[in-house]
Structure 1
Amino acid sequence: MSSSYHKGQVYEYVSNDPSVIGGVQPRPQPQYSRTQRLGLVRILLLSLGTVVIVAVATFLGFVWWGAIDSVNEGDRPNSQILRRILGPGWLLRFITISSLLYRVVAGAQAAVATEMIASLFLEGNGCLLPDLARLSLTRCQTAGPFQLAFAAPRQLYDSANIFTSGLLACLLIASVVTQFTSTILLTDLSAARFINDPTVRNVTFGFKYPSREDTESSTNIFNPYAGVDYWTSRPSAYLRFAEASAPPFQGDGVYDTGAIARAFLPFTNSTQRVTLRRYDGPATVIDARVICVRPRLSIRAINLTDLSMLSLSGSVSMSGGYDGLDTSYSTPSSFACIVDVGKVGDIPLQQRISLCPMDSTSAFIQGGVRPDLSSYTKAYLLINATSGFENWRDNGVGGIKPVAILEKDRTQSQKTWQSFALNGAPDTGIDATLCFANPIPWNYRISATSSQDGFEPTLQWNITTGTYRSNAVRSLLGSTLAPIPSLERGLLKLASPANWSAVDASAVFNTPDTINYVWTALRTGSYNVSLSLSQRENGDDLPLLVPHRAHVGLFQEILAHTDSNAAVKANCMQQVRYAPTEASQKFLHVLQPEFAIPPRTTLQFLYNTDNPSWQTEKKAALPSRRTAQMKALLQRDKEASLPDRNEASLGMIVNILRRIEGKIDDSKPHDSHPTEHRSIAAALRPFNPRSPANSSEVLGVPSFLRHETIDSPAAPTDPNPAISFSAHQVLFWPAIQSSLPESVKLMCQMQGGTYSTRLEASRPKLPHAASVDISSDWLSKLSIATLKQLSDVYFTTFNLANPILDQKTYFQRTLGVAIDGNFGICIESCIVLAVMALGSMGQKALQEAGFAGTPASSPYVGQDAEMPGLDFFNEARKRFGFLMCEQDLQACQFYLLSGLFYAEALRPIDWWAMLSKASACSAYFWNNLSRDRDEWMLDMQSRLFWITSMFEAVLSQELNLPPSNSLHLEEHIALPKFISAQDIASFGSFRYPGDDPFFHYHFLSQLAHRLILTRARNSLFHFNPTADYPPEPVEDELIRQLEQWRERLPPMLQFDPKSPLTQAESPSDALVTAWLHARYFVARYHIGRPLLHRALERPASLTEGHLRKCRDAISAVLAWASVIQVTDTMRSCNPLKFFVCSQ
């Protein structure tokens, strides 16, 4: 044995016993049992400690997995123990206590294990002599494994101790982890929600009905709702309620919403209302049922007031009986109503509807919440004026001679409406419907449940359009085209008792009677005082009540978003239906703190608590589809956007461009010589629409930058001339003029700043064919294959970037009509021939880029070889001469198609003429919206309007051409959604290439880019001979918004401006992707042009930062040159080729 090692199990001793032979013999080693070796305390610590650790782990596992299972909003913990832990918030306490108990027991067991490891070192393979004392003491008594942390490594000189040292290392790690048990567990907690157990508590729900005999009553008022005016105040929010409803019914001349009971929760706290899952207690219930019928209206007198209003008087009666209405006591009722007819040019466009309460009712609603109180039914006459004040006046109303207003033919009266028109003026008249409602607010004991959270949306104000956004509010109230169940709208499901009278709150809870006068808040002060449900100014002298614009805005939003065959009828009933709903919500909420009757109520809420998040994604159930949609509606109302996938994404592109005031208004340039409006600009002010061509106010440019600009050179007397936005007029910059040869200067002086417009106007017209025979034989010889081929080429080229036509409608309707009529005189023939002309140009473009083989040709040669498609275009022009007064959708499409042909022929003046006609067609449609319009028609007209708007912006900004006066409608026309025609059959899952959202996104990306260029034109292009220009904050903000436009493009349109553009592999690469790339550099150049102007005029005023921006602008031009080469591969399909260097 080495002297440096001590082996405890081998030792020597000297014996003094003479009987021992040899003097030395080993002492017999005592034998101990395992129990004696460990000791009773250690055995109990190891065994009972293990039981405690297992129990703690089991409890934590139960809590962890049970809590994870309860994270779904619709679930609740199955275990009563778990509910008691999570409900009062005991989870953190139990985790802390469990962790503490685990650490204490695990620490004690670690101490015992340390003693065992020390024994293994001593009595196993031996230890170093210096560590003998430490190991011996550790074997007897220790506080933990850390005492051996330094001694154990030295024992590794003997390889036999490796295993023992490994055990010690594991023990050390376990001991360290044990100290952080609570930290590790608490780190995994996250916010979660669960449903607690039902609780019972007092909930106050009403005013005590005053009694003269009750001298101790604290109620000293008879009607606490007196003086409360619902109509003239805005609801702060639309509160959650419980609803029980039956399906609506529609018959001949009648529309019944069905039985609808709505109960309002007596909670002032919004969180309680939203998270409530079960309620069993008192609540105010109203009957929201509305029945509208076609009345028998007899008009005795009609006159005009001087306030754009129509005064009507007469009588109304009902003919026949209707299910749900008791007409046994029906007698004619007289009425005298004021109808708000507005003006012809009112903006925004809206329905001119007024609500006229009747002083008596000719029928009573049967059934409902309280059949015994049907005598309280109220009747309302809803009157819609079909034309403005001017048309009524021009047709003699209000004059000396009486004017006859006649009932229209019964076939012209839609559903529940009775229609009248002036004699000789069929478009000027009224529509009327008679509606009945009997809300009867009363307090009952109700039972309501829900499986998900509710919503309490508010009307969001849109600063840009000056209107309310009501998507979420309309969904909450059920004012949607398709019925939505109450639970999916975030409401509670109300259990309808067989007899509501039996659950009267006063009888059930044995409480005093309560006041039920909420309905009086809806009255207008006196009977026969009409309400205007269209937007107009209010005034004390008005003979009718003008509600708060929130009510009017919501009503008009319902009209605009719930089109159906019933048209205005169903929407008017929505106004009557949700008026008591809003009023009851509002006043019960306001007066809740004053309620004094507190019965016992059973409640069940969804609570927020801390919850283990491990594997939550695997265990948590997804919210219902409708819940997700409601949340999306709330978010959309807060950010401003639209119902479907395209609108949401494209709204992101456009809406980020709707802010510029913040940074610009804080940095107004201090100019001692502000720009004066020139007389010509003032004269043209009425003709400067708020469009992409002239939209500084719409797009948010602050007032100090809203200067009118004229693209011609300013007069010499103007001290602060505008810098022309037209790239053609850079030639007239003073610094450029000084560098030109004298001969060029002389030409500039002779031609003037509008030289490009003058030269274009003096060009000869397009050549036409020698024959003027309309029935040209060569068209009849065209094969179907040729027509199909050229049509496909058009939709593969021109229609990608400018979706003028709906491909599905064209191939399944328009083309067939033209072929069947042998290309006769009809608008379909004109459209198809224009498509053939553009298809011929597109065929040439595909051949230029190497995407197609031999182009299709017509049997007639003529001028076709010189200008592809001219033969087709001439034939279209011949036929359209007989259709030049058409103003419908297809006429607008033909004008835009013709404009594209002129653009490709490098004839911008002719293009502008076509755009002006298309703009007139578009304005005609939007100013004369019909009731029977369908969603596809609205979407197509929106598409054509924005195409016209963008192209007019290019022409009016670059050339001296005035924009049309119809684009003032821009802020009222939504972006297109690219809806497919519903009345045309689809073939399975077949999709036309133009239906790809890729091209839809590209179209609106172009629109967003045009808005940025217009901002730059209206806010930067102003010259100041003394002060600094352009304003740097404006310039920086525009660059920032341009970068946002690029960064927030949909993923399929994203591009890196620093990466070189590769050669186009398909037509879309050249016509879509490359053009967005080029537009980015064009905008960078235009934003930097005013600073380049300053650099040439006053170079000494530039700083290092200015020079860097000038360098960026010039770099953008150089980068644009390489990008435009890709688009130039299809030169024959580039409508902007005349403006390619400027727009």
Structure 2
Amino acid sequence: MVQPKVPSLDLSSVKREGPIITLGAHHDSLQGLPTGTASVPHGQASLHCMNDSTHGSLINISGLDWETMQNLSKAYFDCINLVFPVLDRQYFLSNTLSSLFNNGFGNDMQSTIAFLVFALGEVAIAGYGGLPVHAHNGRPSGIKGGSKEHPPGLDMFNEARKRMGFNLTECSLENVQIFALASIYYGTCFYPMDLWRMITLASLACQALITSSPDELSSPRADLVRRAFWHCSIMETCLNLELELPLTGLDKMETFVGLPDFGGSYSEDDHISNQESHFQEHFASQIVLRRLLVTFHDILNKSGPTSAFAPVPTSHESASPGSGVSPNTIRQLALQLDQWRGMLPAPLRWEEDSPGAFPNTDPAAYSETLYSPGGPPMSPMIPMIRTSTNSSATPPLMFTTDLDAPPIRYPYALDIQVALLRSRYYYTKYLIHRPFIYKALHAPEFMTNDDAVGVAECLKASLKWPVAMSPTCRHKRLVPCLFFFSQNFLGILILLHLSTTVPILIGIRASLCGERFDMDARETVGLYVDWLRDLKSVDSAARWHWELAKVIYGLDE
């Protein structure tokens, strides 16, 4: 149904090469990150700015003064480590940082981790406050700082890369952390293939650590080991379920490892950031959602690799072999997902039909410092939120579809954490109900009213994922696994196009999706199109997705 609009598209090759396309590996010109000194455009100098512009020399490590090291570390821990909590802030600041400043950098793992922290700290600062890499019709890009060839933090990352080989086979927690941090950095630079390779190494290193030193799970660092384990597991699951990339076997250790409780050394800064952003509860909720997603995916595909997309039976509650899952099974999965949402901690909850709302509608749930326009910033790169003083006004939304309005900026990466949790929830709901879409397209004559309701649920679950809304889409470098969302946004754009051209979908959309659906669908198309257009200049996979979306919707560059 889409093929006539894209006659050059070879659907068999898409099925065969999907992961290659999504990882951007289909471009012969694909290059790795440069190993030399970054040539930073005028006005986009890195925070430390220690290069000798006359001689083009590499960064002078000894020029890393104490203030710079502290600022970069704070930027990392106030942003990146809240989304990926793999390091201990208290230990790093009290031990690692002071030791390296006093004794200098070597080829050891602590030096490597420090340079990765500094690199990601630069990414955090640039990701919020750097210059946009381009603009479209006056709208600044959501990709800020540096360029595809010379991303923020490259000099620091290259210093880490020089040392990584010396610690390649170390069986330690630091080894896991190094690979995990490297994968995160590659993700911020739009190198998904490198992200995948690094997270695979992190997972294998984590398995080696737990297998060879099981007593680590009862040591003072046990919680850090668990946090690193679940970070790797969540990332692996994303890559496996979406792209069918192989698992390393880490998932088989889940029961043995157990869940993190953030019971390590006390950090007042982490306590404050958790009070404001609830990052610990976000991480725990992501772990539970990941478990549900794996279970749902296995059930939907239990009858074979295509059963989740096979026609849903019209009678009998159990499906015959190879015919797909039953409507009752899908209802049960949807109920489990709704129970997960209902059991979220109160500060994380939101109304189902309002993905852009604040987690809690009670203004008293948020501290004055978080919302006061006159207070000092909670993080060096993130100013405060401005709110209306009109008490009778409609409660403000946390996320907006107005991409031209100045974006609100939240401390402690709060919007990223909230957007990820909600977007992954809607993705899971969308995945559960996709079999109904398949039936509507391939066997419309057998559709029942329950099937039509399932189609409507799938359509509604595809709308306005918060990661594509402002302010989160205005700092895309800091959004994990961009390729995951880009691929799904293209699929949703195709689905929404079909819902305006296929008679049975048109009828369901008009009768079962609600009065707001048309307006929400238009806003969704605008959000997802802007997402792909914004990324196409720096992301090979997004470029391919954009070419399809452009033809389907008749868009200009």
TM, length-normalised to structure 2: 0.64
Relative distance call for 1:951 and 1:752 in structure 2 (3 A) is: closer
Q: 1:1032 Cα deviation (Å)?
A: 1.2
**1:766 matches 2:110:** no
Determine the structure 1 residue equivalent to 2:6: 741
**1:1109 matches 2:454:** yes
Q: Please identify the structure whose Cα radius of gyration is greater.
A: 1
The answer to whether the Cα contact below 8 Å between 1:1009 and 1:1045 also exists between their aligned partners in 2 is yes
Determine the structure 1 residue equivalent to 2:327: 1032
The Cα offsets for residues 223-256 of structure 1, whole Å up to 9 and x where unpaired, read as: xxxxxxxxxxxxxxxxxxxxxxxxxxxxxxxxxx
Q: 1:935 Cα deviation (Å)?
A: 3.8
Whole-Å Cα distance in 2 between the matches of residues 868 and 780 of structure 1?
20
The answer to whether the Cα contact below 8 Å between 1:864 and 1:870 also exists between their aligned partners in 2 is no
Determine the structure 2 residue equivalent to 1:1052: 347
The answer to whether the Cα contact below 8 Å between 1:863 and 1:871 also exists between their aligned partners in 2 is no
Query: Within 5 Å, which residues of 2 pair with 1:131-146?
Result: none
The answer to whether the Cα contact below 8 Å between 1:840 and 1:869 also exists between their aligned partners in 2 is yes
**1:1099 matches 2:444:** yes
Q: 1:1036 Cα deviation (Å)?
A: 0.7
**1:885 matches 2:146:** no
Q: 1:918 Cα deviation (Å)?
A: 1.1
Whole-Å Cα distance in 1 between the matches of residues 147 and 131 of structure 2?
23
**1:813 matches 2:95:** yes
Relative distance call for 1:1020 and 1:917 in structure 2 (3 A) is: same
The answer to whether the Cα contact below 8 Å between 1:1070 and 1:1130 also exists between their aligned partners in 2 is no
Determine the structure 2 residue equivalent to 1:1008: 288
Determine the structure 1 residue equivalent to 2:541: none
Q: Secondary structure at the match of 1:1119?
A: coil
Q: 1:1122 Cα deviation (Å)?
A: 8.2
Whole-Å Cα distance in 2 between the matches of residues 1102 and 933 of structure 1?
52
The Cα offsets for residues 14-38 of structure 1, whole Å up to 9 and x where unpaired, read as: xxxxxxxxxxxxxxxxxxxxxxxxx
Gap runs ≥5 in structure 2: 39-56, 133-144, 302-306, 315-323, 358-396, 399-407, 489-557
Q: 1:754 Cα deviation (Å)?
A: 4.3
> Among 67, 70, 74, which residue is 1:785 paired with?
67
> Among 418, 425, 429, which residue is 1:1084 paired with?
429
* Structure number with higher helix proportion: 2
User: CA RMSD, aligned part only?
Assistant: 3.1
Q: 1:840 Cα deviation (Å)?
A: 1.0
Query: Within 5 Å, which residues of 2 pair with 1:326-345?
Result: none
Relative distance call for 1:848 and 1:1095 in structure 2 (3 A) is: farther
Determine the structure 1 residue equivalent to 2:410: 1066
Query: Within 5 Å, which residues of 2 pair with 1:42-121?
Result: none
The answer to whether the Cα contact below 8 Å between 2:37 and 2:59 also exists between their aligned partners in 1 is no
Whole-Å Cα distance in 1 between the matches of residues 270 and 33 of structure 2?
37
Give 2:290's aligned amino acid. R
**1:929 matches 2:194:** no
* Structure number with higher strand proportion: 1
Q: Secondary structure at the match of 1:804?
A: coil
Whole-Å Cα distance in 1 between the matches of residues 282 and 176 of structure 2?
22
The answer to whether the Cα contact below 8 Å between 1:834 and 1:876 also exists between their aligned partners in 2 is yes
Whole-Å Cα distance in 2 between the matches of residues 749 and 846 of structure 1?
35
Whole-Å Cα distance in 2 between the matches of residues 1122 and 944 of structure 1?
24
Give 2:204's aligned amino acid. A
Gap runs ≥5 in structure 1: 1-734, 851-860
Give 1:1055's aligned amino acid. W
Relative contact order (alpha carbons < 8 A, sep ≥ 6): 1 or 2 greater?
2
Q: Secondary structure at the match of 1:891?
A: helix
Whole-Å Cα distance in 2 between the matches of residues 746 and 1024 of structure 1?
18
Q: 1:864 Cα deviation (Å)?
A: 10
The answer to whether the Cα contact below 8 Å between 2:223 and 2:261 also exists between their aligned partners in 1 is yes
The answer to whether the Cα contact below 8 Å between 2:75 and 2:125 also exists between their aligned partners in 1 is yes
Query: Within 5 Å, which residues of 2 pair with 1:649-1048?
Result: 736-737=2-3, 739-745=4-10, 748=13, 752-756=17-21, 759-760=24-25, 763-769=30-36, 778-847=60-129, 866-929=150-213, 934-981=218-265, 992-994=271-273, 996=275, 998-1021=278-301, 1022=307, 1023-1024=309-310, 1027=313, 1029-1048=324-343
Whole-Å Cα distance in 2 between the matches of residues 970 and 933 of structure 1?
12
Query: Within 5 Å, which residues of 2 pair with 1:240-389?
Result: none
Moved more, 876-885 or 1125-1134: 1125-1134
The answer to whether the Cα contact below 8 Å between 2:187 and 2:481 also exists between their aligned partners in 1 is yes
The Cα offsets for residues 116-163 of structure 1, whole Å up to 9 and x where unpaired, read as: xxxxxxxxxxxxxxxxxxxxxxxxxxxxxxxxxxxxxxxxxxxxxxxx
Relative distance call for 1:1045 and 1:1026 in structure 2 (3 A) is: closer
Q: 1:897 Cα deviation (Å)?
A: 0.4
Relative distance call for 1:1138 and 1:821 in structure 2 (3 A) is: farther
Give 1:917's aligned amino acid. L
The Cα offsets for residues 181-235 of structure 1, whole Å up to 9 and x where unpaired, read as: xxxxxxxxxxxxxxxxxxxxxxxxxxxxxxxxxxxxxxxxxxxxxxxxxxxxxxx
Whole-Å Cα distance in 2 between the matches of residues 977 and 1057 of structure 1?
28
Query: Within 5 Å, which residues of 2 pair with 1:156-171?
Result: none
The answer to whether the Cα contact below 8 Å between 1:769 and 1:863 also exists between their aligned partners in 2 is no
Give 2:13's aligned amino acid. C
The answer to whether the Cα contact below 8 Å between 1:848 and 1:1130 also exists between their aligned partners in 2 is no
Query: What is the count of residue pairs matched by the alignment?
Result: 390
The answer to whether the Cα contact below 8 Å between 1:896 and 1:918 also exists between their aligned partners in 2 is yes
Q: 1:1025 Cα deviation (Å)?
A: 6.2
Whole-Å Cα distance in 2 between the matches of residues 933 and 1076 of structure 1?
27
Give 1:795's aligned amino acid. F
Identical residues among aligned pairs (%): 28
Q: 1:980 Cα deviation (Å)?
A: 2.2
Give 2:114's aligned amino acid. V
The answer to whether the Cα contact below 8 Å between 2:281 and 2:345 also exists between their aligned partners in 1 is yes
Q: Secondary structure at the match of 1:1140?
A: helix
